[in-house]
Amino acid sequence: MMNEHLYSIVVPVFNSGKTLVELNSRIHTVMKQHNFNFEIIYVDDGSFDDSWSILEKLKSECPDSLKAIRLARNFGQHNATFCGLDHASGDIIITIDDDLQVPPEEIPKLIGSYHENDADLVYGCFQKKQHSLIRNIGSRLLKKAGAFFNDAPGEGSSFRLFTKDLSVKILSHSQNFVFIDELLLWYTANICFVNVKHNRRKEGKSGYTTIRLLRLLANLIFHYSALPLKIMTYGGLISSVILFFTGLYFFIRWLFFDVPVGNTSIIIAVLFSASVIIFCIGVVGEYINRLYMIHNKKPPYSIRKIL
């Protein structure tokens, strides 16, 4: 039954020229060893090394099993993966990174778990990630944020398997910022997890800098949650109560104890109120900006070339 499916393996690529040949060879080897029908879709996400020229060579060597897509610029890992999904022909989708930290030999574990549990979504999980401390903290923060916002499991990775049906559903979301895991969790709770290996990075360094991780977290908050609006609502309520009792305190002092209110208390009240208002305006502005981009149909990706 496993061999009746066509497995589409989507690989977002960014400055990974030194690992692509080995990655491609190992994927082909493991899939052929298990007699899996498969295709590989590489999406070059604006690399500035020799990744695209290597993909051109790999395409000439494996014309039937490989697709190569070059984006017009760097759109981010999730958007590049989204592009790969849009061009996948298989009824089962597998996503894997380009850095060989997850060995391609772990792919059969995802496939086996999918068939054993009849799951819609299977995540490969790592007992210990071989990333830097900052990257591990950032990744963990993103997972916890997803769990908090959407009542998600708080686990998972970019090494995942899901059905074509799920892929079609998430492809209906055409906003410019895409976070694959949040979209997947909107449509299914039938999820399995399987432990897989995670190796140290062989070449180069991760494209996720501290600034990129923070930007990703901010986009996740504003695009996939109403948390800032809730903070505004409850924060405004709490500040109103505080200001009311503060004003009442000074009024009672003035009324019964003949104590002058003074400029300090007035300045504090005005500054506190102004800071709350400015913060709320900023939050509303961020949501309006997102709505503006959606209204103008800013695409999640733009393709330069397809092989």
Q: How far apart are CA 125 and CA 115, in angstroms?
A: 18
For residue 69, the cross-strand partners are 43, 306
Between residues 153 and 288, the one the model is more confident about: 288
Q: What is the pLDDT of residues 96-137, one digit of tens each?
A: 998 888 899 999 999 999 999 989 999 988 776 544 555 555
Within 10 Å of residue 94's Cβ, how many Cβ atoms?
27
DSSP reduced 3-state for 184:
helix
Mean pLDDT (whole number) for 179-201: 84
Order of strands, edge to edge, in the sheet holding 66-71? 191-195, 121-125, 160-163, 92-95, 6-13, 37-44, 66-71, 303-306
pLDDT digits (tens, 9 = 90+) for 269-305: 676 666 677 677 767 766 676 666 665 567 788 889 9
Which positions ≥6 away from 243 have C-beta within 8 Å?
A: 269, 272, 273
Residue 268 clears pLDDT 90, i.e. is over it? no
Please report where in the chains the tokens 């061009």 appear, as a residue: 87
- Determine the average pLDDT of the residues in 40-67: 92
Mean pLDDT of the chain: 79
Answer with the residue of higher pLDDT: 154 or 182.
182
